[in-house]
Structure 1
Amino acid sequence: MQITFLGTSSGVPTRSRNVSSVALRLPQRAEIWLFDCGEGTQHQLLRSDLKVSQISRIFITHMHGDHIYGLMGLLASCGLAGNTDRIDLYGPADLDDYLRAGKKYSQTHFSYPVQVHTVSPGVVYEDSEFIVSCRSLKHRVPAFGYRVEEKDRPGRFDVEKATELGIPSGPLYGKLKRGETVTLPDGRQIQGSELCGETEIGRKFVYCTDTVYCDNAVELARDADVLIHEATFAHQDAQLAFDRLHSTSTMAAQVALSAGVKQLIMTHFSPRYAPGNAIMLDDLLEEARAIFPPTKLAYDFLTYDVPRRLPKELAKTAV
């Protein structure tokens, strides 16, 4: 899992920050999942190392323009490029109407299948490797946060040990890799767990924006390896945050602390904290770290590799 920030400003773009979009790259399956698609996202993709042809799923948090204005342009460009097989979209109920209107009035035709999935709290997508779920957040319009969970995988299969035990290669290896117990022709029973290393714990990625502090954000982020959370305002502007139903730096840190996440990355910053102003983004970082030290500030084109969790025995040694 590798995260790339394609836009980290709130409301409007600035000279150095585009509006909201985050790419989650899944190299093991040559796929990219986008979270939000603000205006100019396709330009940001072109400036990055990401391949537009690998985009397979786009998750929209809510229908405000700074999170969706880039969607029609990106989808149209994917069609003109002719190298996209299919894209699945996930988002609020109005997303399908928005796309239908955009296609109608711009006379756009997608040359590949585009499927819109209206989300509601719970699991929105699942396959053999991942589960994606969402929860409602607290904003001025219906908004959702997303959680991507990588399923646990069996540890490395010890082929040398299997050979020493006289286990013939073939279908039996597959059963043992899955942790099953097999019976050999000579009557011996072999447990798969005896030939596999520690289970690889799946990683957890959570994306929360736009929202004021709420319990659903905490539950969504529970035990996440990385939480991306909006921090539109500084702590001293908390009243603005409550009025506009956005988060402060301290709210984001409180969510991370309460949820027990491993890493917090703040994004969706108000342009009012640009360099040279009375309060700058480094001040927001300091506020958040006072509550939750493992906090980073996102910036456009920041990449972050979500680390794998150590097996239990190695984790104890590391401590």
Structure 2
Amino acid sequence: MQLTFLGTSAGKPTKERNVSALALQFDQDNKWYLFDCGEATQHQIIRSRLSIGKLDTIFITHLHGDHYYGLPGLLSSKKLDKAFRSLNIYGPKGIKKFLECVLDISEEHLGYILKVTEFEAEETFVFDKFSLKVLPLVHSIESFAFYIKENDICNKLNEKKLRAIGLEPSSLYAELKRGRSITFKGEKLEPKVFMLDPVVGRSLIIAGDNSRPDVLGRYMEDLDLLVHECTYTQETYDNLPVKVLHTTAKDLGIEVQAKRVKNLIANHINPRYNKNSTIGVEMIYNEIKRSYEGKLFIANDFDVYRLGRDSVIEKLY
């Protein structure tokens, strides 16, 4: 499972970071999924190793501009690239009206099927390789997280055991994988006898803007990976003249440690934390680390991470 961060800034783009967008790819798959689509996401895709032609589905966490203003340009460029594969968009109530308005006023004829689904909290959707549940968050408008559970692999044969009785790889293997009994050397073989234990699918949450990570509750317990906003350090937040509903590094660190989250990638970084400032992203990292003992990364644009089946995450580049 691979994650490519296309935008990691909060609210507005900076010289270092674009606004929110994250790509998710599954092993041995010919398509990929996009979570949020801030302004200029299509430019970020061009600069990555991803192909718009293989984009299958877009999920929008909430309707603040830095999370979905990039949709019109991306949809139009997909047509110009002659990438006519159908596209699915899932988002909160209002996303359909937004897209219908943009496409109508611009007289844009996409030339491919665009299916838009407006979801509600607690809905579950099933895809080829995973299921996705929509979880409510706490923000200034409706905002959501996506709990993603990869399908368990239940059809792995114990080839060593089969070879031990003289059955080499053949079409009979396929029959066992389909759950059908076979006859070999006059003996009936039952599939369950020659199946390995299921390989449990990985679990992750990709969250939109949220001021209270604790609302994710039991879904965070022993989670393989949490991707969550971390807009401010606690000191910065406490000194804001006007409080906004975002997570602080202190709160995030305490909560993920309490729920035993195995890996955390923090993103949606406020522009004040940058390379030319006296306060850098290391302040966010250090504040989370005061409470959290798991593996932690602060995402930058174009960072690529791989989450292994052993729940170990590594930064590829």
TM normalised by structure 1 equals 0.88
1:107 & 1:128 partners in 2: Cα distance?
Answer: 33
Q: Which residue of 1 aligns with 2:233?
A: 234
Deviation at 1:272, TM superposition (A): 1.3
Q: Which residue of 1 aligns with 2:34?
A: 34
Question: Residues 165 and 306 (structure 1 numbering): CA distance in 2 closer, same or farther, change over 3 Å?
Answer: same
1:57 & 1:282 partners in 2: Cα distance?
Answer: 33
1:19 & 1:185 partners in 2: Cα distance?
Answer: 59
State whether residues 172 and 182 of structure 2, in contact with CA within 8 Å, keep that contact through their aligned partners in structure 1. no
Gaps of 5+ in 1: 311-319
State whether residues 60 and 90 of structure 1, in contact with CA within 8 Å, keep that contact through their aligned partners in structure 2. yes
Deviation at 1:169, TM superposition (A): 7.2
State whether residues 139 and 245 of structure 2, in contact with CA within 8 Å, keep that contact through their aligned partners in structure 1. yes
Deviation at 1:201, TM superposition (A): 1.4
Identical pairs, percent = 32
Counting only pairs closer than 5 Å after superposition, residues 1-319 of structure 1 correspond to structure 2 as: 1-154=1-154, 156-159=156-159, 161-165=161-165, 173-177=173-177, 180=179, 182=181, 184=183, 188-239=187-238, 240=240, 243-293=243-293, 294-309=295-310
2:123 & 2:185 partners in 1: Cα distance?
Answer: 45
2:241 & 2:37 partners in 1: Cα distance?
Answer: 23
Q: How many aligned residue pairs are there?
A: 309
State whether residues 38 and 70 of structure 1, in contact with CA within 8 Å, keep that contact through their aligned partners in structure 2. yes
1:80 & 1:220 partners in 2: Cα distance?
Answer: 40
Q: Deviations over 1:243-300 (max 9, x none)?
A: 2110011222233223322110000011112234343210110000111132111000
Q: Deviations over 1:14-41 (max 9, x none)?
A: 0010000000022412111000000010
Gaps of 5+ in 2: 312-317
State the one-letter code of the partner of 2:101.
A
Q: Which moved more, 1:300-309 or 1:118-127?
A: 118-127
Compute the RMSD of aligned alpha carbons: 2.4
TM normalised by structure 2 equals 0.89
2:107 & 2:209 partners in 1: Cα distance?
Answer: 31
State whether residues 213 and 251 of structure 2, in contact with CA within 8 Å, keep that contact through their aligned partners in structure 1. no
Q: Deviations over 1:83-137 (max 9, x none)?
A: 2311110110100001011111222121111111111123442134210111110
Question: Residues 187 and 259 (structure 1 numbering): CA distance in 2 closer, same or farther, change over 3 Å?
Answer: farther
Structure whose residues are more often helix by fraction: 1
State whether residues 22 and 35 of structure 2, in contact with CA within 8 Å, keep that contact through their aligned partners in structure 1. yes
